[in-house]
């Protein structure tokens, strides 16, 4: 056999292998819809119960490398999906197809990709989405598992944790087609939903103890790796910066509102707690195919995952939603506020006598 016929036979056998070893997508006739992604803590417009058969949900994310201020006068060259830390929440229903166009503009300096924990195969899509500056790619995956899941950049080697702790992570919610159910199988309808993306940052200090600010992301790479290896973040924040969800940025709700709180942490464990409330229904590990746990005081989000909790507010006031590692909350930044309007219920709590001098 000469060389050319050998090559031809090899190519033919590879083509035969690929044809025989791949299953076509079952998308003929599926409705295509475009989901407009929005900045966290908001979720895109979505139905809680799916209408009709599975759809192809088209989304577009543009990678944006940009310097952000994560605390007063503390800066990092963040790597972002669509310009925010965390990236935008995607919402689909189980067995929908997510069709992502991922764009890495020419203004970028680095290669990026995306690994969807909600997907199956090829390193969560990471293998098929590597885009250099000036490239774009389209990935389609079927969201077969219901739950809330992290997505993150994973370009390989030390770049994986480095990109993740530069903010390059987000979450997707895959709702059961018939919506969320409580622990008795009854439908839960939420009035509001918020996405809290927790981010650990590892900012190096100079010899005087001040946080260092670098001209480019790569300039800080070696210093940051040393801080990262201590496993001691300099900042742990919600939605990209200390105070991103407090003060005038507080979340808002009314007494009687049933609120869904989705919390992701792509890199380490965290312990959400709602001061003065409870996790009435909690999918601690984010899996909607299991029954929710009920009435938890605090819950655990595992490293590299998202979880969801539901609470119906019963009293007005300012609630702190935080990591109940209180050092992370009060000293490193992991706190959000929820301002709740409505009428106080004395049956649930009342100050019987105001503080007075001891008689």
Nearest position to Cu ion, beta carbon: 153
Sequence-distant (≥ 6) Cβ neighbours of residue 357 within 8 angstroms: none
Measured from the CB atom, the residue of 59 and 164 that comes closer to Cu ion is 164
Q: How far is the CB of 241 from Cu ion (least distance, A)?
A: 19
- CA dist 29 and 291 (Å) reads 33
Choose between 77 and 278: whose C-beta lies nearer to Cu ion: 77
Collect contacts of 316-319 with beta carbons under 8 A, ≥24 apart: 316/255, 316/340, 316/341, 316/342, 316/343, 316/344, 317/276, 318/250, 319/274, 319/275, 319/276, 319/277
Indicate the SS3 state at residue 170. Answer: strand
Closer to Cu ion by Cβ: residue 131 or 196: 131
CB of 159 to Cu ion, least distance (A): 7
Which residue, 34 or 107, is less far from Cu ion as judged by CB?
Answer: 107
Closer residue to Cu ion, CB minimum distance, 79 or 195: 79
Q: How far is the CB of 337 from Cu ion (least distance, A)?
A: 30
Structure tokens at 242: 């200390």
Closest CA to 237 of 204, 264, 258: 264
**Nearest distance in Å: CB 125, Cu ion:** 11
Which stretches of the chain bind Cu ion, using CB under 5 A?
79, 112, 153, 163, 168, 304
How near is the Cβ of 358 to Cu ion at its closest, in Å? 56
- Of residues 251, 147, 114, 264, the one with CA closest to residue 196: 264
């Amino acid at each position: 056999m000469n060389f050319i016929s050998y090559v031809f036979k090899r190519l033919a056998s590879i083509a035969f292998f690929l044809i025989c070893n791949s299953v076509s997508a079952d998308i003929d006739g599926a409705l295509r819809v475009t989901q407009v992604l929005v900045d966290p803590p908001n979720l895109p417009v979505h139905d809680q119960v799916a209408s009709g058969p599975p759809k192809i949900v088209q989304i577009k994310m543009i990678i944006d490398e940009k310097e952000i201020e994560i605390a007063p006068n503390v800066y990092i060259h963040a790597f972002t999906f669509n310009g925010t830390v965390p990236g935008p929440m995607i919402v689909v229903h189980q067995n929908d197809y997510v069709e992502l166009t991922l764009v890495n503009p020419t203004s970028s300096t680095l290669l990026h990709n995306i690994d969807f924990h909600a997907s199956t195969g090829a390193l969560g899509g990471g293998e098929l989405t590597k885009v250099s500056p000036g490239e774009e790619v389209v990935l389609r995956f079927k969201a077969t598992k219901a739950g809330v899941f992290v997505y993150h950049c994973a370009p390989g080697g030390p770049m994986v944790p480095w990109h993740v702790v530069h903010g390059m992570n987000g979450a997707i919610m895959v709702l059961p087609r018939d919506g969320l159910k409580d622990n008795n199988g009854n439908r839960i309808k939420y009035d509001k939903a918020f996405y809290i993306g927790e981010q650990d940052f590892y900012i190096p200090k100079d010899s005087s103890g001040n946080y260092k600010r670098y001209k480019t992301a790569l300039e800080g790479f070696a210093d940051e790796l040393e801080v990262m290896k201590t496993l001691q973040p300099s900042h742990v924040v919600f939605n990209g910066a200390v105070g991103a969800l407090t003060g005038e940025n507080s979340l808002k709700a009314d007494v009687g509102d049933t609120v869904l709180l989705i919390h992701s942490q792509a890199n380490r464990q965290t312990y959400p707690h709602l001061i003065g409330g409870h996790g009435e229904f909690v999918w601690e590990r984010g899996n909607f195919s299991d029954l929710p746990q009920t009435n938890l005081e605090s819950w655990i989000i595992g490293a590299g995952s998202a979880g969801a909790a539901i609470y119906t507010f019963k009293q007005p006031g300012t609630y702190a939603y935080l990591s109940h590692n209180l050092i992370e909350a009060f000293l490193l930044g992991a706190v959000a506020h929820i301002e709740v309007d409505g009428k106080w219920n004395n049956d649930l709590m009342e100050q019987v006598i105001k503080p007075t001098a001891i008689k």
